[in-house]
């Protein structure tokens, strides 16, 4: 991997790990100090690697530099160092250094503690998720704004308010108790769900699929699976959902980055290992009589790993969507349901249900109705596709809508 690709990748995967470890050590009130040290580490990497080339082990290099910068910062700030030693109950000689532990286990412990601290009930849910995406997942304000369909100034305010609230409430970064897990797990899962969703269908960076975000969401989900107190049915269900979706990554895009619709995907390019892993976690999720939106969405994703268009498949998907809308209604879930409805009841009934939603500012709404009206009213289908083209964000979506428009125009001219 070249330097221009490697550094952004490492920033995404390592920045938040080091920040979590330093916050775990310093306390939540010193987030800014941790972020400054890690940002300076990456700035040094940019300058050094440009001049001297990429080191043999870039991650280890970053960890070593981060440790040294932290030690140097503590030496320059003797008052902070003394206070930290008291807080950590260290009876150490004045000249002895505080350990900066960047081992895999301490990174895991730090991130688990950090995500539950960030998801404290004193902070509004939207601010919790924005801060977690920023601190734990390396999301920039613009990316979070895109995911929330808002502007970055709103996200800046949410993140800063959340940080201030953590300081005011003197919230500690520590391993969560059972009570804290029960209170905050839902917010944690929402964060991971949003992170994976933004990667699976990215609204930023002019691309449809961002695997790095999906992989990061799955990595954090694994942290919850590996901890005995957070290994809950909903956690397994969410990981199953991620595995099923991730299994079709290679089949979703063509060689030029264009989007391949589900019906046109090459089943041989689906990752069978990930499908089997998803089935394992879905079975684990079913071990207790708990039903969450993640169970239902995982079930829907499971059936999408069966390409054969059998009646049973689409009837099961429709039934799962019906249960999902009762459990937790959302307009997008209702829109997705109409695709399954068309397979079971026919396009006419699906059109009636889709148009009731009136999601006139939504790209998927117009793209779906364009599909449903094709061969029923091609002129209407053409208008829906044209509107979808205007609303499309990614080049892949624009290419797909242009292709559909060209095909319909050719059909109407013949």
Q: Is the pLDDT of residue 1 over 70?
A: no
Q: Is the pLDDT of residue 167 over 60?
A: yes
Mean pLDDT of the chain: 87
pLDDT of the residue at 241: 98
Question: CB of 145 within 8 A of CB of 135?
Answer: no
The verdict on 203 and 128 lying in the same domain is yes
d(CA 203, CA 145): 10
The verdict on 336 and 217 lying in the same domain is no
User: What does the block give as tokens for 3?
Assistant: 């330097």
CA neighbours closer than 13 Å in the CB half-sphere of residue 101: 11
d(CA 207, CA 102): 33
pLDDT of the residue at 86: 60
pLDDT one-digit tens code per residue, 51-69? 999 999 999 999 999 999 9
The verdict on 81 and 192 lying in the same domain is no
What are φ and ψ of residue 253, in 5° steps? -125, 145
Average confidence (pLDDT) over 120-146: 81
The verdict on 21 and 3 lying in the same domain is yes
pLDDT of the residue at 214: 86
The verdict on 108 and 224 lying in the same domain is yes
pLDDT one-digit tens code per residue, 196-255? 887 787 655 455 557 777 888 898 899 999 999 999 999 999 999 999 999 998 898 887
pLDDT of the residue at 100: 87
The verdict on 31 and 48 lying in the same domain is yes
pLDDT one-digit tens code per residue, 318-367? 999 999 999 999 999 999 999 999 999 999 999 999 999 999 999 999 99
The verdict on 110 and 95 lying in the same domain is no
Total number of domains in the chain: 5
Q: Which of 161-165, 189-193, 292-296, 303-307 tops mean pLDDT?
A: 292-296
CA neighbours closer than 13 Å in the CB half-sphere of residue 158: 25
The verdict on 109 and 227 lying in the same domain is yes
Average confidence (pLDDT) over 79-92: 60
Q: Is the pLDDT of residue 94 over 90?
A: no
The verdict on 133 and 227 lying in the same domain is yes
* DSSP code of residue 125: H
Which residue's entry shows tokens 């109950």?
89
**What is the percent of the chain where pLDDT is above 70?**
91
The more confident residue out of 172 and 109 is: 109
Q: Is the pLDDT of residue 148 over 70?
A: no
pLDDT of the residue at 252: 87
pLDDT of the residue at 92: 45
The verdict on 79 and 117 lying in the same domain is no
Largest CA distance in the chain: 88
The verdict on 49 and 80 lying in the same domain is yes
Last-in-domain residue among 74, 102, 130: 102
pLDDT of the residue at 87: 60
User: What does the block give as tokens for 118?
Assistant: 């960030």
Which residue's entry shows tokens 């206070």?
83
Question: CB of 244 within 8 A of CB of 298?
Answer: yes
> Domain range for residue 59?
1-102
Question: CB of 331 within 8 A of CB of 321?
Answer: no
The verdict on 368 and 277 lying in the same domain is no
pLDDT one-digit tens code per residue, 259-298? 788 888 999 999 999 999 999 999 999 988 889 999 999 9
Confidence bin at 124 (pLDDT 50/70/90) = confident
């Amino acid at each position: 991997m070249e330097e221009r690709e490697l550094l952004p990748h490492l920033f995404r995967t390592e920045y938040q790990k080091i920040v979590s470890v330093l916050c775990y050590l310093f306390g939540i009130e010193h987030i800014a100090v941790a972020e400054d040290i890690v940002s300076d580490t990456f700035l040094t990497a940019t300058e050094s690697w440009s001049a001297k080339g990429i080191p043999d082990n870039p991650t280890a290099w970053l960890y070593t530099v981060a440790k040294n910068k932290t030690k140097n910062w503590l030496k320059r700030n003797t008052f902070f160092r003394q206070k930290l030693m008291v807080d950590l109950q260290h009876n150490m000689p004045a000249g002895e250094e505080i350990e900066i532990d960047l081992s895999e286990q301490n990174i895991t412990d730090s991130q688990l503690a950090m995500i539950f601290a960030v998801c404290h009930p004193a902070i509004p849910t939207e601010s919790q998720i924005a801060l977690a995406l920023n601190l734990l997942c390396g999301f920039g304000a613009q990316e979070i704004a895109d995911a929330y369909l808002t502007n970055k100034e709103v996200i800046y305010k949410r993140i800063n308010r959340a940080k201030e609230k953590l300081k005011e409430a003197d919230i500690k970064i520590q391993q969560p108790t059972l009570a804290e897990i029960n209170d905050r797990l839902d917010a944690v899962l929402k964060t991971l769900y949003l992170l994976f969703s933004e990667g699976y269908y990215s609204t930023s960076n002019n691309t449809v699929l961002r695997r790095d975000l999906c992989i990061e969401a799955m990595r954090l989900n694994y942290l919850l699976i590996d901890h005995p107190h957070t290994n809950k049915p909903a956690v397994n269900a969410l990981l199953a959902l991620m595995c099923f979706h991730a299994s079709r990554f290679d089949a979703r895009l063509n060689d030029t980055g264009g989007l391949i619709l589900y019906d046109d995907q090459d089943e041989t390019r689906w990752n069978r290992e990930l499908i089997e892993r998803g089935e394992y976690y879905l079975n684990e999720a079913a071990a207790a009589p708990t039903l969450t939106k993640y169970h239902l969405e995982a079930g829907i994703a499971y059936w999408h790993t069966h390409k054969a268009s059998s009646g049973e498949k689409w009837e099961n998907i429709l039934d799962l969507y019906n249960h999902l809308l009762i459990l937790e209604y959302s307009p997008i879930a209702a829109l997705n349901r109409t695709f399954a409805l068309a397979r079971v009841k026919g396009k006419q009934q699906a059109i009636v249900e889709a148009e009731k939603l009136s999601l006139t500012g939504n790209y998927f709404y117009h793209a779906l109705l364009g599909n449903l009206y094709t061969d029923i009213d091609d002129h209407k289908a053409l208008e829906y596709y044209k509107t979808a083209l205007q609303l499309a964000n990614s080049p892949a979506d624009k290419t797909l809508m242009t292709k559909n428009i060209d095909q319909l125009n050719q059909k109407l001219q013949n």
